[in-house]
Homo-oligomer: A and B are copies of this chain.
Amino acid sequence: MTAPPWFYGPGLKERPAFFDLAPEESRHLAGSRRLRVGDDITVFDGVGTTAAGQVLEMDSRQLKVRVALAGYQSVDEDLPRIHLMSAVPKGDRQSTLLDMATQLGMSDYTPLLCERSTSVPGERAAARWQRIMIEACKQSRRPWIPRIHSATGLKTVTTGKRSVRQMMIVADLTGGRMSQLSALYLDEIVLLVGPEGGFSSAEIDQIHEAGTTLVALGSTVLRTETAAVTLVSATLNFLRGRS
């Protein structure tokens, strides 16, 4: 682990030569990471751009760290995008879901409101979730932070307009295997994961009518976050196998 640690710096589009980290990132750099003037870091903007940074100055309260930036790199987002739509498990389980799915390569997240949903995200959830995703991006050196969309009912998802370049996959014990999918030329793969008590029978009908693909993730009953992480991982493994 000699690679420089990552820090979040939104707004690198103009490729500035100097950059002031936000207070939270500054505190993290000077406090828990114990970096000092002259140390190397990587700054990423969450939308594909990274730069090699060097710590230039930090104020005495460690709330403002100025870095010099050079060696800019930009990468496009991978296609197809992996868009996870899941019921929201309670508390830490949702944090685990977002952390792991981001490390693996999820590109979009929508909280899914189902009949048996036990948890409806509050107003401040998106900000908290984005913080978790930023930390996961740093950890896994991913320059793209997943986009968080508004909470949506399953019915809106299954009856909404769909592009021909979009596929919808549902984790279901009765489904087939991922390897039987045909996923050429897709822009987006939507992964639907239900709540703890499963989708209701009305919801299962909606899912079938929407022409989704059912994929079994094994023979055991999985918690929402385990099913979500496993489905993201299996989908990405499947896509890598094709290329």
A interface residues, Cβ below 8 angstroms from B: 1, 92, 96, 99-100, 103-105, 139-142, 177-179, 196-198, 217-223, 225-226, 229-230, 233-234, 236-237, 240-241
Interface pair A198/B1, CB less than 8 Å apart: yes
Interface pair A103/B226, CB less than 8 Å apart: yes
Interface pair A220/B104, CB less than 8 Å apart: yes
**Closest chain B residue, CB of each to CB of A78:** B219
- In the bound complex, residues from chain B placing their C-beta under 8 Å from that of A105 are 218-220
- In the bound complex, residues from chain B placing their C-beta under 8 Å from that of A103 are 220-223, 226
- In the bound complex, residues from chain B placing their C-beta under 8 Å from that of A230 are 104, 229, 233
Q: In the bound complex, how far is the Cα of B234 from the Cα of A230, in angstroms?
A: 8
- In the bound complex, residues from chain B placing their C-beta under 8 Å from that of A240 are 177, 218
Q: In the bound complex, how far is the Cα of B237 from the Cα of A177, in angstroms?
A: 8
A102 → B minimal CB distance (Å)? 9
A193 → B minimal CB distance (Å)? 14
- In the bound complex, residues from chain B placing their C-beta under 8 Å from that of A178 are 237
A/B interface sample: 16 pairs, CB < 8 A: A1-B196, A96-B96, A100-B225, A103-B223, A103-B226, A104-B226, A140-B221, A140-B222, A142-B220, A177-B237, A178-B237, A218-B233, A218-B236, A226-B229, A234-B234, A234-B237
